[in-house]
Structure 1
Amino acid sequence: MKNIQVKNVPDEVHRVWKTRAAAAGMSLQEYLHRKLIKEAQQPTVAEVLARVEHRGGPKIDGELIVEMIREDRDSR
């Protein structure tokens, strides 16, 4: 397993995470470890769109999605 070290975290940000960890009954390290794993398991929009294209679906980008939403809203 690899290690990650984050430096220069603002005091207020550290305080917030430490408070949330304590409220969850965890150490700060354990709490952030779980958060990092959970975040990594959620694909980004770009990753999902790349999977769609890789599987033979249409090439869709953020601009096209915005355009489609605007067209849908305007049609109402």
Structure 2
Amino acid sequence: MKNIQVKNVSDEVHRVWKTRAAAEGMSMQEYLHRKLTREAQQPTVAEVLARVEHRGGPKLDHDEIVAMIREDRDSR
């Protein structure tokens, strides 16, 4: 396993993460490890679009997709 070190975190940010970890009954290291792992498991929009394009799906850019979603929502 690799290690990650984050420097220059503000006191406020540190306090928030420490408080949230304590509320979950975890150390901050355990809590942040869980958050980082979950985040890494979720693909970004760009990654999803790249998969769709790789599979020969529609070649739409982000703005076109957003416009289609808005149009669909507005039609309801």
Bin for the TM-score computed over the shorter chain: 0.7 to 0.9
Percent identity over the alignment is: 87
Partner Cα distance (1:7, 1:52) in 2: 37
2:36 maps to amino acid: L
The answer for unaligned runs of 5 or more in structure 1 is: none
Q: Deviations over 1:46-72 (max 9, x none)?
A: 111110111110112211113323444
Give the count of matched residue pairs.
76
CA distance in 2, matches of 1:21, 1:71: 40
Matched to 1:47, the amino acid is E
Query: How much is the aligned-residue C-alpha RMSD, in angstroms?
Result: 1.5
**Unmatched runs of 5 consecutive residues or more in structure 2:** none
Q: CA 1:73–1:26 in 2, change beyond 3 Å: closer, same or farther?
A: closer
Any idea what SS the aligned residue of 2:60 has? coil
Matched with 2:2 is 2
TM-score scaled to structure 1, two decimals? 0.88
Question: What corresponds to 2:33 in structure 1?
Answer: 33
Q: Secondary structure at the match of 1:58?
A: coil
